[in-house]
Amino acid sequence: MKDHIEMCINGNTYQVGGEDVFLPLSDYLRTKVHLPGTKEVCIEGDCGACTVLLGKAKNEEVFYQTIDSCICYVYQLNKCHVVTVEGLKNSKLNPVQEAMVINHGAQCGYCTPGFIVSLYSFFNTCPKSITKPDIQNTLVGNLCRCTGYETIIEAGLSVDSNSVKKIDEIYPSKKLSILELSRKESIEVNTGEHVFYEPLTLKEALKLKDENLDSKLLLGGTDMHVMCNKRDFNPNKIIYLSNLNELKNIEIKNNHLIMGAAVTLSEFEIYASQYYPGLKEFLELFASPQIKNIGTVVGNIANGSPIGDTLPFLFVMEADVTLESVKGKRTININTLYKGYRSLAMDLNEIITHVNIPLLSKDEILRLYKVSKRKHLDISSFSAAIKLRQKEGIIQSISIAFGGVGPTIQRITEVEKYLCGKRIGEDVFEEAVNLMDNIIQPISDVRGEKGYRLRLAKNIIKKFYFEIKEENKVFA
């Protein structure tokens, strides 16, 4: 068993042990490796100033994605290659950096390294043609307070993609030591104050959890590390699960999408969007590429927040969650998983290993909604999912789930029962709206007053009706 992690930074190999393992990557880069180009601003994965490229080996190649290094900790990086803004140039600036200079894409310059890394990641995929929306979508996770973005977008549009040296040319995969680093050993880093475990197999992880009931399970860490950075959350024991091969699968089987706990939001978005209309557009509002490249759906489930954006979708789809422990395996429907605010019906020695989501039938309609103060990358004030199955204009079944109206995601069963069996029509949905006053009791907080949330809930029901009416003339 190893007592350190091994990784590469800008092509150089590092062995990291002791308390350094428990640092945010951005902090480690700046203070231990003396690469200050990566900036720290929000330290909660919101602004993107700390963006770096994270490379992971797969089939003798290294694949790179952007991440927020402020909420990615060093212990997550065994067998990874981190490329910072300093690592994108050799003797001279690369074309992305030159474009930012020529187009005056920087003012104070503090956010500039993050923009450069995100833009470089886009051009590394060798796009054939570039449009303004391409650049805007690429930079959705990067914030700037000075330039107003237009000069940054102009810089991106001015880049000749053929002139950008690809990451595998700068750092050939076959020469990186991470391809040689063996994962034949588990990792345990014990400093006395903190203990980090990275098991090799699910069986080992279940045993570790059974022996350490007070340990925190970690996948992407995009929520937990915000609490570590800003709320002085300090877990003593961590079991890291994201590298377990048994949890990386995503597939269609028996008319269900089955997904392992280690599947990232980006992987889920790409794979699942072809089966659930509207999911891609919804997930584009969910989080930045940097967050989705490391965060997970199962992390969203385990976090149990009543404004967790994927949860209403999973509720109306009647997803099943697989829980495993050394004693065995059991499955629980997500609608019965939560006992209260962030409280799950799980034993302390259990791990969520898989999620099983039914596919939509041909006569089912799915709509997903999110309301937040800022359109993109903001915490929801209110969220909703509605799934309807109809036959010749008659509602055969309907599922409605709201987020942000109580301590947990709420299924609106009274409205579901009222609508089931009725012919789709404006008067029917108007009456359903009138039922809402006695069904939900939202709270007031910084993101919205209770009356506002109640009005949102009513308006979403109406919006759903008018959307399906417009798209399905049989309902008119």
Cα torsion through 404, 337, 349, 267, rounded to 10? -70
Integer-rounded Cα Rg, in Å, for the chain is 24
**pLDDT tops 60 at residue 473:** no
**Do 335 and 434 belong together in one domain?**
no
- The helix, strand and coil proportions of the chain, stated in percent and rounded to the nearest 5, come to 35, 25, 40
Q: Which of 325, 359, 393 is the last residue of a domain?
A: 359
**pLDDT tops 90 at residue 60:** no
**Do 355 and 367 belong together in one domain?**
no
Question: With 0-12 CB in 10 A as exposed, 13-18 as middle and 19+ as buried, what is 194?
Answer: middle
pLDDT band (50, 70, 90) for residue 182: low
**pLDDT tops 90 at residue 175:** no
**Do 274 and 388 belong together in one domain?**
no
CATH code of the domain containing 6? 3.10.20.30
The model's pLDDT over 185-241, given as tens digits with 9 standing for 90+, comes to 899 999 999 999 999 999 999 999 999 999 999 999 999 999 999 988 999 999 999
Report if residue 307 sits inside a domain: yes
Phi-psi region of 350 (alpha: psi -120 to 50; beta: other; left: phi over 0): beta
CATH code of the domain containing 467? 3.30.390.50
Question: What integer pLDDT is reported at residue 341 of this predicted model?
Answer: 93
Global pTM exceeds 0.85: yes
Looking at the chain, the whole-number percentage of residues with pLDDT higher than 70 is: 98
**Do 346 and 399 belong together in one domain?**
no
Helix intervals (H) in 231-272: 265-272
The model's pLDDT over 243-297, given as tens digits with 9 standing for 90+, comes to 999 999 999 999 999 999 999 999 999 999 999 999 999 988 878 999 999 999 9
Across the range 160-179, mean pLDDT stands at: 88
**pLDDT tops 80 at residue 404:** yes
Outline where DSSP puts E strands in 109-223: 187-190, 195-198, 216-218
Report if residue 11 sits inside a domain: yes
**pLDDT tops 60 at residue 348:** yes
Question: What integer pLDDT is reported at residue 327 of this predicted model?
Answer: 97
Report if residue 460 sits inside a domain: yes
* Average pLDDT over the chain, rounded to an integer: 93
Q: Which of 62, 138, 70 lies closest to 294, judged by CA?
A: 70
**Do 291 and 334 belong together in one domain?**
yes
**388-393 long-range Cβ contacts below 8 angstroms, 24+ apart:** 388/364, 388/464, 388/468, 389/361, 389/363, 389/364, 389/365, 390/363, 390/365, 390/424, 391/363, 392/474, 393/423, 393/424, 393/474, 393/475
Question: What integer pLDDT is reported at residue 178 of this predicted model?
Answer: 78
The model's pLDDT over 352-400, given as tens digits with 9 standing for 90+, comes to 999 999 999 999 999 999 988 776 677 888 999 999 999 989 999 999 9
Question: What integer pLDDT is reported at residue 154 of this predicted model?
Answer: 96
Report if residue 86 sits inside a domain: yes
**pLDDT tops 70 at residue 181:** no
Q: Which of 342, 359, 376 is the last residue of a domain?
A: 359
CATH code of the domain containing 315? 3.30.465.10
**Do 177 and 323 belong together in one domain?**
no
Question: What integer pLDDT is reported at residue 324 of this predicted model?
Answer: 98
Number of domains in the chain: 3
The model's pLDDT over 330-340, given as tens digits with 9 standing for 90+, comes to 999 999 999 99
The CA distance from 439 to 17, in Å, is 53
**Do 354 and 368 belong together in one domain?**
no
Structure tokens at 291: 């967050």
**pLDDT tops 80 at residue 127:** no
Q: Which of 408, 414, 405 lies closest to 445, judged by CA?
A: 405
Q: Could you please report the per-residue DSSP string of 100-123?
A: HHHTT--SS-SSHHHHHHHHHHHH
Structure tokens at 72: 């990615």
DSSP state of 423: B
Element containing residue 206 per DSSP (H, E) = helix 202-211
Question: What integer pLDDT is reported at residue 145 of this predicted model?
Answer: 85
Contact present, 429 and 458 (Cβ < 8 Å): no
The domain in which residue 173 lies consists of 1-189
**Do 335 and 417 belong together in one domain?**
no
| Backbone φ and ψ of 357, nearest 5° | -115, 120
pLDDT band (50, 70, 90) for residue 442: confident
User: In this predicted model, which residue has the larger pLDDT, 91 or 8?
Assistant: 8
pLDDT band (50, 70, 90) for residue 184: confident
**Do 175 and 53 belong together in one domain?**
yes
The CA distance from 189 to 5, in Å, is 9
**pLDDT tops 60 at residue 475:** no
DSSP state of 208: H
**Do 82 and 113 belong together in one domain?**
yes
**Do 279 and 160 belong together in one domain?**
no
Q: Which residue shows structure tokens 């350190």?
A: 4
Report if residue 228 sits inside a domain: no
Report if residue 377 sits inside a domain: yes
pLDDT band (50, 70, 90) for residue 183: low
Across the range 15-32, mean pLDDT stands at: 97
**Do 53 and 91 belong together in one domain?**
yes
Report if residue 235 sits inside a domain: no
Question: What integer pLDDT is reported at residue 234 of this predicted model?
Answer: 93
The model's pLDDT over 156-166, given as tens digits with 9 standing for 90+, comes to 999 999 899 99
Report if residue 227 sits inside a domain: no
